[in-house]
Structure 1
């Protein structure tokens, strides 16, 4: 498995992955944030691939010296295989390389089901940023 920075050629498979994994409402919010983050800093959008197929992705952002995990998605047939955790760890390395002071997890209603995964990696409830604002407002 390979985890790397998003590339333009990944756009179609990533949007298909998001359509598959996310609810329609969550997809709309995520696509908007995804496009914005690509224009700001594409180094914080990572993809996981297996034999060239995109199977997972994570979107992060940095605002006021804080790193935020915004959205993570893994194809259903690849879930519970450690891909999400690898994406989280890889993005954490990017945050650490940029000397962010604190790393937070955006905990909106769409991320609630996976907060336990973050907890299993050592994050605590105090690391969850509960906001229903769009990424553009949080990181703008």
Structure 2
């Protein structure tokens, strides 16, 4: 598995993955935030590939010296293989290299199913950022 920064050639595969695994409402919110984050700082969008196939993506952002995990999506074909963990840890390294004061998890209703992933990596309830604001407002 390779975890790396988003590349323009990933765009179609990432949007197809997001459409496959997210609800319609979540997809609309996420694709808007994805586009904004790419325009701000594409190094905070990480892609996991296995055999040159996109297995997952994580979208993060930094606002007011805090790093936020916004959305993680893993292809159904690659779940339970450590892809999510690798993406979260990869983004954590990016946040740490930028010396953010705190790392938070954007916990909207769409992220509830992946909270056990973050908990398994040591994150606790105090690390959750519960907001109904979209990423474009948080990071704006």
Structure-1-length-normalised TM-score: 0.99
Report Cα offsets for 1:29-65 as digits up to 9, x if no partner: 0000000000000000000001110010000000000
- The match for 1:34 is 34
Tell me the secondary structure at the aligned position of residue 67 of structure 2.
strand
> How many residues end up aligned between the 2 structures?
140
Structure 1 position 69 matched with structure 2 position 69: yes
Q: Report the alpha carbon displacement of residue 77 of structure 1 after superposing the two structures with TM.
A: 1.5
Identify the residue that residue 58 of structure 2 maps to in structure 1: 58
- Runs of 4+ displaced beyond 3 Å: none
CA–CA separation in structure 2 for the residues paired with 1:101 and 1:9: 32
Paired residue secondary structure (2:89): helix
> How much does 1:3 deviate?
0.4
Aligned-partner SS, 1:109: coil
The runs of 5 or more residues in structure 1 that have no matched partner are none
Q: How far apart, in 1, do the equivalents of 2:3 and 2:136 lie?
A: 25
Equivalent residues in 2 for 1:1-140, closer than 5 Å: 1-140=1-140
Structure 2 alignment gaps of length 5 or more: none
Alpha-carbon distance in 2 for matches of 1:8, 1:121: 29
Shift of 1:80: 1.0
RMSD: 0.4
- TM-score, normalized by length of structure 2? 0.99
Name the CA distance, whole Å, in 2 between partners of 1:83 and 1:52.
14
